[in-house]
Amino acid sequence: MPLKPQKNKEQLDIEKILKILPHRYPFLLVDRVLELEKGKSIMAIKNVTYNEPFFQGHFPVKKVMPGVLIIESVAQAGGILLYHSIPDPENVLVFLSAIHNAKFRKPVIPGDQLRLEAELTKLRKKVSYLKGKVYVDGEIVAEGEIMAALLRLEELNE
């Protein structure tokens, strides 16, 4: 069952999200953070609209959000969580490095609102592990385990 937002947890609007994530349209897949507990968990939303560019080809007869983008949306929420959980986040880039045990339970269509929930299960200097779940109207539509690489900017220039 999805979590319910808690009033005492940090929330972020799109302006704050844009300062954290490097993604931009059409690949920014988080619209708002409802709840953030540093080092622990995040709850965010993605509004799925008919105007999403991927719906032009996926599929012309019945619009369905690609599963990889559903997982990417929860991974981006996890990136926001990591940003708030590591020291000196401005000098670190987070890269999705693996997805394990991904399951897609129901199709996501235009008009749905994704509730993205990610829990930080392990954080190391160069890698992190998260469990992600995605809900629509209280029903789970996707889930998986996400591994992310943490690369310092100075390492990228070497």
CATH of the domain at 100: 3.10.129.10
Instruction: Kindly indicate the confidence band of residue 155, based on its pLDDT and cuts at 50, 70 and 90.
Output: confident
- Predicted confidence (pLDDT) at residue 4 exceeds the cutoff of 70: no
Q: Is residue 141 part of a domain?
A: yes
Residue 36's pLDDT is 98
Task: Please tell me the distance from the alpha carbon of residue 51 to that of residue 49, in angstroms, as a whole number.
Answer: 5
Section 23-38 average pLDDT: 97
Task: Please tell me the distance from the alpha carbon of residue 43 to that of residue 58, in angstroms, as a whole number.
Answer: 27
Instruction: Kindly indicate the confidence band of residue 74, based on its pLDDT and cuts at 50, 70 and 90.
Output: very high
Task: At 100, list the tokens.
Answer: 């394990």
Task: Please tell me the distance from the alpha carbon of residue 158 to that of residue 124, in angstroms, as a whole number.
Answer: 21
Q: Is residue 5 part of a domain?
A: no
Q: Is residue 1 part of a domain?
A: no
Residue 7's pLDDT is 59
Q: Do 58 and 64 contact (CB within 8 A), yes or no?
A: yes
Structural domain including 23 reads 10-156
Section 121-129 average pLDDT: 97
Instruction: Kindly indicate the confidence band of residue 60, based on its pLDDT and cuts at 50, 70 and 90.
Output: confident
Q: Is residue 49 part of a domain?
A: yes
Edge to edge, the sheet with strand 92-104 lists: 10-12, 32-37, 41-47, 113-123, 127-136, 139-152, 92-104
In degrees rounded to 5, what are phi and psi of residue 53? Answer: -60, -30
Q: Is residue 115 part of a domain?
A: yes
**Domain count for the chain:** 1
Residue 71's pLDDT is 98
Q: Is residue 3 part of a domain?
A: no
Residue 47's pLDDT is 98
Residue 6's pLDDT is 63
Q: Is residue 2 part of a domain?
A: no
Residue 101's pLDDT is 98
Selected residue with higher pLDDT from 10 and 121: 121
Nearest to 33 by CA among 6, 70, 63: 6
- Predicted confidence (pLDDT) at residue 158 exceeds the cutoff of 70: no
Q: Collapsing DSSP states into helix, strand and coil, what is residue 53?
A: helix
Section 66-75 average pLDDT: 98
DSSP state of 18: H
Give catalytic status of residue 100 as yes or no.
no
Element (H, E) at 144: strand 139-152
Q: Is residue 145 part of a domain?
A: yes
Residue 100's pLDDT is 98
Q: What percent of the chain has pLDDT over 90?
A: 89
Task: Please tell me the distance from the alpha carbon of residue 92 to that of residue 79, in angstroms, as a whole number.
Answer: 11
Catalytic residue, candidates 23, 58, 84, 100: 58
